[in-house]
Chains A and B, each alone.
Chain A
Amino acid sequence: MSSPDTTLQKPVLPPPVIEQGALGWAHANLFSNRFNTTLTVISLAILGIVLWSSLRWLAFESDWTVIATLSGRLIMGPYNTESACPGQDCFWRPQAALLLVTMLLGMGWGIAGGGLTKRYAIGVVAVLAAFSLLPYGLDEMGMDVRLLLLANIPALALGWFLARHTGLGTARWLAILAVGTFVVTLVLLRGVEGIPGMQPVSVNHWGGLMLNLLLAVAGITLSFPLGVGLALGRRSRLPVVKLLCVLFIEIFRGVPLITLLFMSQTLVPLAFPKDFPVNSLMRAGIVITLFSAAYMAENIRGGLQALHRGQTEAAQSLGLKTWQSTMFITLPQAIRNVIPAIVGQFIALFKDTTLVFIIGMQDILTYSRAFIQGNPEFIASAQELFIFLALVFWIFTYSMSHISRRIEEHLGVGRR
């Protein structure tokens, strides 16, 4: 050990500076020897050619009229066609549902008071409003669609106002209203016999992005609690419960979703009374939920297994009952630890909603493909349309991933 004198003589040094500007970095990593230099030059050339032709296509050749022409159809598929809604304009029903959703967003913003919720609320409505201003004629994109998109601005403001200036501005009310909105949406879309303007529309005519979102929202909200239940059941000490959960999980994980959707045509109705009407939407919803729940269960079980045994022991030693220990101690920690896996599962579920074409439903992707095939004058626009669809899916999935990362930061995962 050194004496106090010598310790004092040694200066406290700043960390060494790593000399590396952009040029230094390029030299060290891209042009360090002849082989690397050759590779770099070839890669740059390829990149340049690809970028150049893409940009040239984007600037001079692409024609996005198809997006404007389809606009409302992309949102709701064949819902407002003559065969779905004979003799009536049913356009206002999904429209009203969308406005309710933006109102909820506004309420969320009003309650959270800023931050991420505010940015997403404004972002969503701004994108919708921007589409209403697309520079195409009213023939391509009708006034009704444009007004629907613009109306989201006042709906957002109304939600914000309700949260701020009425007694509805609590998270509990938001949750209740969110469930209420979902139910109202289903009723609005389905229609009610005998009420003028509300004539029933068969679920086979529900489509477009609306269908993807409905299935995703229902699938996510139902598969999460179901998955938690299955994960706990698989760890249960009761042999029967455990066996049933293992069977369920392994069967649903072991079969492709497409196969399950096929089978749902014949199998799901078996689980219901004979006269109970099980329509294709319910079948799809049930199958997607069960499939996702099986994966969810394994994610959450992984989180539970990663926990130290001391956590349960501490809870037990304090007199908490098993369900209390699960509810307040182990489950919250397990879920936090597997948020990335859970969100990955949600993203997969959202993308998998496009598979409902298997049972004849026309989600946004299926409807678009059918439109191109049925309208040869738009065949040249297929690229634009599918690029646009890719962008739509990416925006939703990236948002989910972004929000989940922010939730992780907020919960301090990885820090505590």
Chain B
Amino acid sequence: MYEDQGDTTDDIIVCEDLHKWFGSFHVLRGITTSVRRGEKVVILGPSGSGKSTFIRTINRLEEHQRGTIVVDGVELSNDVRNVDTIRREVGMVFQQFNLFPHLTVMQNITLAPQKVRKWPKARAEEIANELLERVGIPEQAGKFPGQLSGGQQQRVAIARALAMQPKIMLFDEPTSALDPEMINEVLDVMRELAHSGMTMLIVSHEIGFAREVADRIMMFDEGLVIEEGTAEEFFTNPKHERAQEFLSKILA
């Protein structure tokens, strides 16, 4: 379903010396990394470390001020066409779901495919139904977001992003706003998505989930990647002092 069509090099995201300031606050202080096709990267770090800002630069919800980002062979620049191209290929799931409250679940999912991909309504709805089935809530299509539980809303948000058939999915703390008993239903959907081969960048504090699905862990602190490695390496033998400290806090 998600076969690669564009650039055939192995790296789908390449960031080179990425810098970003909020006013005088230097939030990203030179990030250089790349993400392979199909790779699952979990990003950890204390709040304010720049991890959310980092993934938000990848679909230009935040503009970077220095360095380069190339997504699937297209450079993110001030050229609106490039930004549009990249946004079509990059899906995003937010901490606060950000569903459109005035539209039904079905309309939430089919809006972008119809307006951006120019699919006919019937095709968009067919795909939407498949996706709702996939995230486990096919019976909620006619409801409004306000009538769903948090976990269901987040699953709709995932389906909405997937409806554009993106090559990359960004998750910005997708379970942080959920009641504990609803976290797993969202993580299950993300697990299934990971197994399907999607490229995923996930900002999360769910350590168990990170251990299970991450090909790589990136640890952010004060705008820098201070440690990077496989989940196994990172959790059993963190090298950086701040990483050790962070782990001991969240595992306590």
Cα A329 to Cα B112 in complex, Å, equals: 11
Contact call A314/B100, Cβ cutoff below 8 A: yes
B111 neighbours in A (Cβ, 8 Å): 318, 320, 328
Q: Which of A375-416 contact B (CB under 8 A)?
A: 411-412, 415-416
Contact call A313/B98, Cβ cutoff below 8 A: yes
Shortest beta-carbon distance from A68 to chain B in Å: 49
Q: Which of B204-219 contact A (CB under 8 A)?
A: none
Q: Which chain B residue lies CB-closest to A415?
A: B146
Point out the residue from B84, B94, B170 that lies within 8 Å of A319, measured CB to CB: B84
A324 within 8 A of partner (CB): yes
Contact call B112/A320, Cβ cutoff below 8 A: yes
B116 neighbours in A (Cβ, 8 Å): 318-320, 324
B164 neighbours in A (Cβ, 8 Å): 318-319
A328 neighbours in B (Cβ, 8 Å): 111, 115
Cα A336 to Cα B164 in complex, Å, equals: 28
**How many A-B pairs with Cβ below 8 Å?**
67
Point out the residue from B59, B94, B170 that lies within 8 Å of A310, measured CB to CB: B94
A54 within 8 A of partner (CB): no
Shortest beta-carbon distance from B136 to chain A in Å: 21
B160 within 8 A of partner (CB): yes
Cα A319 to Cα B92 in complex, Å, equals: 11
Knowing A317-B59, A318-B111, A318-B112, say if A416 contacts B161 (CB, 8 Å): no
Contact call A318/B94, Cβ cutoff below 8 A: no
Q: Which chain A residue lies CB-closest to B117?
A: A319
Point out the residue from A311, A319, A415 that lies within 8 Å of B100, measured CB to CB: A311
Q: Which chain A residue lies CB-closest to B100?
A: A329
Residue with the greatest number of chain B CB neighbours at <10 A, chosen from A311, A332, A411, A416: A416
Shortest beta-carbon distance from B56 to chain A in Å: 8
Q: Which chain B residue lies CB-closest to A314?
A: B98
Shortest beta-carbon distance from A309 to chain B in Å: 9
A56 neighbours in B (Cβ, 8 Å): none
A316 within 8 A of partner (CB): yes
Cα A392 to Cα B98 in complex, Å, equals: 46
A329 neighbours in B (Cβ, 8 Å): 100
Q: Which chain A residue lies CB-closest to B101?
A: A416
A324 neighbours in B (Cβ, 8 Å): 115-116
Contact call B61/A317, Cβ cutoff below 8 A: yes
Cα A35 to Cα B147 in complex, Å, equals: 50
B200 neighbours in A (Cβ, 8 Å): none
B100 neighbours in A (Cβ, 8 Å): 311, 314-315, 329, 333
Cα A266 to Cα B99 in complex, Å, equals: 51
Q: Which chain B residue lies CB-closest to A324?
A: B115
Q: Can you list 15 A-B contacts (CB < 8 A)?
A: A310-B94, A310-B96, A311-B100, A313-B98, A314-B100, A317-B87, A318-B87, A318-B116, A318-B164, A319-B112, A320-B116, A324-B115, A328-B115, A333-B102, A416-B102
